[in-house]
Structure 1
Amino acid sequence: MTIANTHIELPPDVAQAPAPLPIGSLFALALAAFITILTEALPAGLLTQISEGLAISEALAGQWVTVYAIGSLLAAIPLTAATQGMRRRSLLLSAIAGFAVANTVTALSTSYGLTIIARMLGGVSAGLLWALLAGYAARMVPESQKGRAIAIAMVGAPLALSLGVPAGTLLGNLIGWRMSFALMSLFAIALMVWVRLKVPDFPGQTANKRFGLGHVITLPGVRPVLFVVLSFVLAHNILFTYIAPFLGAAGLAERTEQVLLVFGVTSLLGIWVVGVLIDRHLRPLTLAGTTLFAIAALMLWVKNDNLVVIYIAVGAWGIAFGGAGTLFQTAIAKTSGDAADVAQSMLVTAWNLAIAGGGIIGGVLLDYLGVAAFAPALIALLIITLTVVWSARHHGFPRI
């Protein structure tokens, strides 16, 4: 008996079983996100040490964060558009190398001006890397796993905020702020080796397939996603930037660290939930997250002097925000297709504009109306966000 030509039909669910996720490669991307956020935010926890070490004011030391954000904001779109033809792994390695150089200069420099230039370089690297990550993760897996892959690649950001910055601050207090930045440089170099050995390479776009900004912005669904990013992140940053005076008005200033810890931990829960469900439930998760954030804002408006309610509201806010980045990046990646990197650079720009806008608008509200104006402003922005998500049922946040 021969079975050489026997054909066995497998059930569809067996024949089409998805391959395992490339966890090692995706974790490398997650660590790149971790370094990006840690490089940006660590100076905020070490302002006193930095100001004493360089004999400058804490306000000037705080500009390290500002110029980093400016570098990211200015570089994301033009640099991503200009590098569409480069191979993806080489571009990723270049971005990580930028962090290694920026943090090494920061660790060694005694010149404030030179350090500011290094921080700007770090911000440029961040703008490029954020535009790369989601598209890179999506290209590693089939369509049915893109959302989960992006969620894993993005987990480094909330980990850096909730664990990395506090740990880095503690380490800086123990061994000095310069050694903290030097260790981040070593971490970046080690990550470059990991990326070179384990992360697959992909070609850039050929000359006849590169996408201009004007074309990408007109793709169906791109503009609704960008608007949702701008309004949602603006609402978040109005509150997050001024959480200390918000709590101080309720006589809870001494609870700021605990409140931020609750936010950080619950944001990890949010990204886990989104990572599990996103590939089939992008639209419901976006609507649910925005609604949850609005409910949290309402709770903070009605019961802003009740510590238990504040903890619950901040926990809900953390869950809603934790998965937001993954939701928005997945939405724009699926909407823009082969133009994902350029579209992601637009998302990075919108996100950074929202960060800057949150500081400006929140400051105006605080000065002229007080913290009582925060919650109504957040609710108004989130209602608009919900409306846009709901209306983008065909493109952007489609029904499945």
Structure 2
Amino acid sequence: MPNPAKPSQVSQDRLRAALKAIDGNDIDVVVQVGTNVAMQQFAAEAELWLGRPCCRTTLPSTGARCAAGIGDRIHGFGSLLSKHCSAPRSIAPASEATPLTGTFFSTLTRTESSLTAKVSAADSATISAGPQRLPVLKLLAFTAAGFLAITTETVPAGLLPRIGQGLDVSEGLVGQLVTSYALGAVIAAVPVIAATRGVRRRPLLMSAISGLLVFNAVTALSSSYPLTLTARFLAGMATGVVWGLLVGYALRLVPEQQQGRALAVVGVGQPIALTLGVPLGTLLGSLVGWRGVFWIISGLALVLIAWIRAVLPDFPGQEASTRRPIASVAALPGMRPILLVVLLWILAHNILYTYISPYLAAAGLGGRVDAMLFVFGAGAIIGIWGTGALVDRALRTVTLVSLAGFAAAALLLGVGLHSAPAAVIGVVCWGLTFGGAPTLLQTAVADAAGEDADIAQSMMVTVFNLAVAGGGLVGGLLLEAIDATVFPWVLLVLSMAGGAVVLTARANGFRPGMRGTS
């Protein structure tokens, strides 16, 4: 077949929009549109445009075959299309595939008018299919991965005496197990994600979770502190890969207008882990011992691997011809201001979160640390829900409001040094306004990076973890040099600086209006 003519940018955009509109729909929706001849023609056009046959799903009502992505759904057409749209080529159907209709692949030609007409028919067909539902079961697999990663990181904090006795080291050295884990994530995120850009997504994610399984098992078995420290560092490296993959993988499951909501679902595992991970680990440690806790985490990793294999579709890695150098990704318009906001916001949060005990003691709530952390976590979960509902429609506005609310929370926490009720309200506001921060920042990074989202997200992981470590360092210095009463005012300054960066990043980074319309 002759190579089809390249359509105009308008036609490309319409085709891309139509493909995204059907991305992720269940097979019953595919059947509904698959009985429409125009939609079948559109699917054939999509295959020719992608330059590859797609997985075939037999449609019971027609016996025809439809371009159904992977498994029983349409997956990833939008991102695949953008990779291939500059070099269209024709391809015969795979030998085991039945053509959509008898002669489409032998006679189909592309012209401007026919492509436009077929995309219009596809638009109508997908609109009639109704609004899509989030693939919640799939997204919850990512939620569980985030929960597992953070629980693995933080659980030693609640087991310090038990691990110290088991390894015959001081609690201070046990605390370095958390530091080693975070260091592994920082070191691995960018280079490992960059090196594996061409690897298929599901096997890579399963391999990273397998790393958590293996290295947590080694921690459970080890009686040597150096071996345990090494296992924790390698577990952190595996986590760096997990964090680098989650956002880009999740975004390929949903159309653009649902990506913010999807990231909110993915992100809810983080505050749950931060709120419940340490106390739950402490409780389990008293029941099954600290080694038993790490065996339980390894068991959860095994369950998650099976879950991922059962429900998540596989996607190809990024083609070599489309990969930007790491420095070029960092230099993309909007990336630098976004990463600066990540640094300022996460640093501010972790100064207080790391040293919440001395702050609460100064506020007269020293005996209520667990209760205040629970209040913070509950507020954070509500904040994620609110962010997910609004982020796709108003990313810039929600980010500015969240940072303003975070600054207001800092003021309340400052007043709370002299009023326990004000401190409690401040903690609630802190959770409400910070809970959605990862979703907002991940969405902004994804928008700025486009096809290079995985590399960009790994950069965010690196900056995020550096800010976490910086929060511990800066907070400790402030605590030694002054006292915990200075924390709220430092948070106020950092949050205002973050808000100023967002205000200046209007053209790129934090753009106004609905996502995907500018």
1:68 and 1:109 map into 2 onto residues whose CA distance is 16
Is 2:417 the partner of 1:304?
A: yes
The residue number in structure 1 matching 2:380 is 267
Local SS of the residue matching 1:200: coil
Q: Is the 8 A contact 1:211 1:342 kept in 2?
A: no
**Per-residue deviation at 1:203?**
0.5
Q: Is the 8 A contact 2:449 2:456 kept in 1?
A: yes
Alignment of 1:67-86 (within 5 A): 67-86=180-199
**Amino acid paired to 1:270:** G
**Amino acid paired to 2:482:** L
Alignment of 1:48-197 (within 5 A): 48-197=161-310
- Per-residue deviation, residues 5-62 of structure 1 (Å, max 9, x unmatched): 9999998994374322111111111111111001001010111111112221111111
The residue number in structure 2 matching 1:329 is 442
In the superposition, relative to structure 1, how do residues 45 and 226 fare at CA in structure 2: closer, same or farther (>3 Å)?
same
2:37 and 2:380 map into 1 onto residues whose CA distance is 54
**Amino acid paired to 1:140:** L
- Structure 1: runs of 5+ lacking an equivalent: none
2:435 and 2:209 map into 1 onto residues whose CA distance is 24
**Amino acid paired to 1:48:** P
1:181 and 1:235 map into 2 onto residues whose CA distance is 31
Q: Is the 8 A contact 2:201 2:249 kept in 1?
A: yes
The residue number in structure 2 matching 1:340 is 453
Q: Is the 8 A contact 2:198 2:317 kept in 1?
A: yes
Local SS of the residue matching 2:434: helix
**Amino acid paired to 2:468:** I
Local SS of the residue matching 2:133: coil
Q: Is the 8 A contact 2:363 2:423 kept in 1?
A: no
**Per-residue deviation at 1:164?**
3.2
Local SS of the residue matching 1:205: coil
Residue 501 of structure 2, aligned match among 371, 388, 396:
388
The residue number in structure 1 matching 2:138 is 25
Residue 34 of structure 1, aligned match among 127, 147, 150:
147
2:461 and 2:161 map into 1 onto residues whose CA distance is 30
The residue number in structure 1 matching 2:97 is none
With normalisation by structure 2, the TM-score equals: 0.74
The residue number in structure 1 matching 2:402 is 289
Local SS of the residue matching 2:417: coil
Alignment of 1:196-275 (within 5 A): 196-275=309-388
- Per-residue deviation, residues 217-272 of structure 1 (Å, max 9, x unmatched): 11111111100000000110111111111122233211211111111111111111
- Structure 2: runs of 5+ lacking an equivalent: 1-35, 40-119, 514-518
Counting matched residue pairs gives 397
2:400 and 2:480 map into 1 onto residues whose CA distance is 32
Local SS of the residue matching 1:176: helix
- Per-residue deviation, residues 152-200 of structure 1 (Å, max 9, x unmatched): 1121111111223322221111111111110111110111111111101
Q: Is the 8 A contact 2:185 2:236 kept in 1?
A: yes
2:316 and 2:472 map into 1 onto residues whose CA distance is 39
Q: CA RMSD in A?
A: 1.9
Larger deviation, residues 358-367 vs 307-316: 358-367
1:12 and 1:154 map into 2 onto residues whose CA distance is 33
The residue number in structure 1 matching 2:491 is 378
Q: Which stretches of structure 1, 4 residues or more, deviate above 4 A after TM superposition?
A: 4-14
**Amino acid paired to 1:338:** E
Higher helix share: 1
Residue 354 of structure 1, aligned match among 467, 475, 480:
467
**Amino acid paired to 1:50:** I
Point out which structure has higher relative CO (alpha carbons under 8 A, 6+ apart).
Answer: 1
In the superposition, relative to structure 1, how do residues 223 and 354 fare at CA in structure 2: closer, same or farther (>3 Å)?
same
Q: Is the 8 A contact 2:217 2:294 kept in 1?
A: yes
1:170 and 1:281 map into 2 onto residues whose CA distance is 41
**Amino acid paired to 2:373:** L
1:372 and 1:183 map into 2 onto residues whose CA distance is 39
With normalisation by structure 1, the TM-score equals: 0.95
1:370 and 1:158 map into 2 onto residues whose CA distance is 27
Larger deviation, residues 67-76 vs 148-157: 148-157
The residue number in structure 2 matching 1:44 is 157
